[in-house]
């Protein structure tokens, strides 16, 4: 074998070895924060412990980014629990993206398509029917293909009688700003990410803002900028989250989704790797919101790879905010302790 061939083979071998080493490192980091903890029973009805008169926008609610993506390829999956399990873990806000092709309505993320929308809605119906003290927010952020009309028809069919409707003479923003926990129990709030007039004209459909926050008359503010969310965990927490909170303070209306997830801009490492580098920092950030100057504005906290512990870091903030019923204080704290005694150290 010539020297040139040996050199070439050595280069190729080194390249392959580097790739394999990279894959091993990514897989190791990605799996380092796996948490398959089963939810405690109280997480299915934690909102029963919140005072009826508390505004929904003042309640701290855990959310799931790209819900319904369990089982998708590593570069597309942002959750490893199905919808029923997410709800049982205390999640009350679901970010949903629907694709339509070949007669099927499927949850999607990027190029990958996953579970059927009707199954997700069945799980929501089953949960809310069994837990009538709870409120589930379904945020239909994005649509792929001609998915809108079929999606709203399926929502009407599956969740008939379980939808929050604006039957008043108030604007949707005024209505949501005054919506209390008591008035929304046992119901689903439907939020729509497209300015489709005939759908938004329905009394049970509410407009969401766009990522830049420039869409008028929106009931949910949910800010996102790819270049921000691809930063390192510490930079994102230190520099970006405060900006998102300040933007909501300027808007001062509607519900607020604080996007707690990071983005894999290269489609190489995947959401699970990014979340593994972010989990501990984000948990600490959320726990430290207790008693902070920003606490009053904290509403929905959306995360990747939801767990009972992540959710309880958010739910816990309802206690220092004064949202928990007096006669439920002990039960509320017991729930947190049953999930993890560490939660008792904050606030």
Q: What does 202-243 look like in DSSP terms, one character per residue?
A: STTEEEBP-TTS--TT-SEE----HHHHTS-HHHIIIIIHHH
Share of the chain above pLDDT 70, in %: 89
| Local structure of residue 167 (DSSP, 8 states) | -
User: Residue 18 has what pLDDT?
Assistant: 43
Q: Is residue 105 predicted with pLDDT exceeding 60?
A: yes
* pLDDT level of residue 330 (50, 70, 90 thresholds): very high
Tally Cβ neighbours within 10 Å of residue 168: 11
Torsion of CA 92, 97, 100, 105, to 10 degrees: -20
Residue 282 pLDDT more than 50? yes
pLDDT tier at 344, thresholds 50, 70, 90: confident
pTM of the model: 0.93
Mean pLDDT computed over 121-140: 98
| Residue 131: predicted pLDDT | 98
pLDDT at 345: 79
Residue 13 CA neighbour count, 13 Å, CB half: 6
Lowest model confidence (mean pLDDT) among 21-25, 151-155, 238-242:
21-25
pLDDT at 304 (0 to 100): 98
Instruction: Give pLDDT, residue 107.
Output: 98
Mean pLDDT along residues 329-340: 97
pLDDT at 33: 62
pLDDT higher than threshold 50 for residue 19: no
pLDDT of res. 55:
98
The arithmetic mean of pLDDT across residues 161-179, rounded, is 98
Q: Write the CA distances from 163 to 4, 64, 204, 210, 293, integer angstroms.
A: 71, 20, 6, 23, 34
Q: What is the mean pLDDT of residues 19-26?
A: 44
Output the pLDDT for position 268.
72
Average pLDDT, the chain: 92
Residue range 304-316: mean pLDDT, rounded: 98
pLDDT for 132 equals 98
Tell me what the mean pLDDT of segment 124-150 comes to.
97
> pLDDT (tens digit, 9 = 90+) per residue, 182-227?
999 999 999 999 999 999 999 999 999 999 999 999 999 999 999 9
Q: Which residues of 16-36 are buried (b: 16+ CB within 10 A; e: fewer)?
A: eeeeeeeeeebeebbeebeee
Is residue 15 over pLDDT 80?
no
State residue 101's pLDDT score.
87
According to the model, what pLDDT value does residue 16 have? Answer: 43
Average pLDDT over residues 307-328: 98
């Amino acid at each position: 074998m010539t020297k040139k061939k040996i050199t070439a083979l050595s280069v190729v071998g080194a390249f392959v070895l580097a790739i394999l080493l990279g894959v091993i490192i990514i897989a190791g980091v990605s799996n380092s924060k796996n948490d398959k903890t089963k939810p405690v029973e109280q997480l299915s009805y934690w909102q029963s412990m919140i005072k009826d008169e508390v505004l929904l926008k003042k309640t701290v609610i855990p959310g799931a980014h790209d819900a319904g993506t369990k089982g998708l390829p590593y570069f597309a999956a942002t959750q490893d629990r199905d919808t029923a399990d997410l709800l049982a873990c205390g999640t009350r806000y679901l970010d949903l993206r629907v694709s339509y092709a070949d007669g099927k309505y499927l949850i999607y993320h990027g190029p990958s398509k996953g579970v059927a929308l009707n199954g997700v809605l069945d799980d929501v119906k089953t949960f809310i029917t069994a837990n009538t003290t709870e409120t589930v927010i379904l945020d239909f952020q994005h649509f792929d293909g001609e998915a809108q009309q079929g999606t709203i028809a399926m929502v009407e069919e599956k969740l008939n009688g379980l939808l929050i409707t604006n039957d008043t003479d108030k604007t949707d923003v005024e209505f949501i700003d005054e919506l209390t926990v008591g008035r929304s129990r046992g119901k689903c709030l439907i939020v729509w990410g497209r300015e489709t007039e005939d759908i938004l004209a329905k009394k049970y459909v509410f407009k969401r803002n766009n990522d830049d926050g420039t869409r008028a008359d929106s009931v949910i503010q949910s800010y996102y900028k790819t270049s921000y969310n691809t930063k390192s965990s510490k930079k994102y927490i230190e520099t970006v989250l405060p900006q998102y909170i300040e933007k909501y303070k300027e808007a001062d209306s509607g519900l607020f989704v604080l996007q707690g997830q990071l983005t894999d801009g290269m489609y190489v490492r995947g959401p699970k790797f990014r979340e593994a580098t972010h989990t501990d920092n984000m948990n600490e950030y959320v726990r430290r919101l207790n008693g902070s100057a920003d606490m009053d504005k904290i509403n929905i906290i959306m995360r990747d790879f939801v767990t009972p512990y992540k959710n309880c870091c958010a739910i816990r903030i309802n206690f220092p905010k004064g949202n928990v019923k007096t006669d439920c204080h002990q039960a509320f704290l017991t729930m947190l302790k049953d999930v993890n005694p560490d939660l008792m150290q904050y606030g």
